[in-house]
């Protein structure tokens, strides 16, 4: 009878040990799944932040074009076609060609980018438009773009700790965002462990910023 009791005891210990191992594996899978979700959330936050900063830049650029044209008209003898008119022509060309099927906003941004790039390099006002854009970026636009990136990160569940933005990397606005993850614990296993998952995303390419001076890979902390 003693050997039977010992056998039952051994089985009980084995079952308990197996249950502990299974629980540990379950917690590991749970934490792994949480890490994957955090990575996706960090990636989404970075993507939305880079797009938001780019959208803010285009919005500010449209206003700068109007101001530039009001200044340039009195400086030259002939001004046959405005930048807005050139943009509208480029929109029509892109809509019926290489960007057919894209949204109107995407087409308009690309058209603005191409026209402004040409105007900066060989426009009627010499370096007036380039200087205006560089000045606005330095003292106003970059602040608005950073705020747009911050808001997008927070709106998408990200954290500003270690968040940063680069103006510009090969003509793109690059944003790094992160998302906190706290591990699930079991009987003090993994207790107190937390981690930040970081991801980086770049917005659409902007050709006109490559014509600017002093705006290559400038890094700003978003915290």
Mean pLDDT, residues 210-223: 93
d(CA 219, CA 86): 33
d(CA 44, CA 20): 36
Q: Give Dmax over CA atoms of the chain in angstroms.
A: 114
Cβ–Cβ under 8 Å, residues 99 and 107: yes
Domains of the chain by residue range? 2-221
Mean pLDDT, residues 211-218: 92
Q: How confident is the prediction for the chain on average, in pLDDT?
A: 83
More confident residue, 12 or 123: 12
Tens-digit pLDDT profile for residues 117-148: 988 877 665 688 899 999 999 999 999 999 99
d(CA 200, CA 169): 12
Q: What is the pTM of this model?
A: 0.79
Residue 74 has pLDDT above 60, yes or no: no
| pLDDT bucket at 77, cuts 50 / 70 / 90 | very low
Q: How far is CA 165 from CA 97, 149, 176, in A?
A: 33, 8, 6
d(CA 185, CA 24): 9
Lowest-pLDDT range of 38-42, 54-58, 165-169, 197-201: 38-42
| pLDDT bucket at 193, cuts 50 / 70 / 90 | very low
d(CA 119, CA 140): 22
């Amino acid at each position: 009878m003693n050997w039977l009791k010992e056998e039952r005891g051994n089985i009980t210990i084995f079952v308990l040990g197996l249950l502990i191992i299974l629980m540990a594996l379950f917690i590991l899978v749970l934490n792994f799944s949480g890490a994957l979700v955090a990575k996706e959330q960090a990636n989404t936050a970075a993507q939305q932040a880079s797009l938001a900063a780019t959208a803010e830049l285009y919005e500010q650029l449209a206003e700068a074009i109007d101001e530039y044209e009001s200044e340039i008209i009195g400086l030259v003898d002939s001004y046959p076609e405005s930048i807005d008119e050139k943009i509208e022509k480029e929109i029509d060309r892109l809509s019926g060609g290489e960007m057919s099927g894209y949204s109107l906003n995407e087409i308009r941004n690309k058209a603005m980018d191409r026209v402004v790039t040409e105007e900066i390099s060989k426009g009627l006002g010499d370096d007036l438009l380039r200087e205006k854009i560089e000045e606005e970026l330095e003292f106003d636009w970059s602040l608005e773009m950073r705020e747009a990136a911050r808001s997008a990160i927070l709106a998408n569940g990200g954290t500003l700790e270690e968040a940063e933005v680069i103006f510009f990397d090969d003509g793109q606005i690059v944003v790094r965002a992160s998302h906190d993850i706290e591990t699930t614990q079991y009987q003090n296993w993994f207790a107190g462990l937390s981690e930040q998952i970081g991801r980086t995303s770049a917005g659409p390419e902007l050709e006109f910023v490559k014509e600017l001076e002093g705006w290559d890979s400038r890094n700003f902390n978003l915290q």
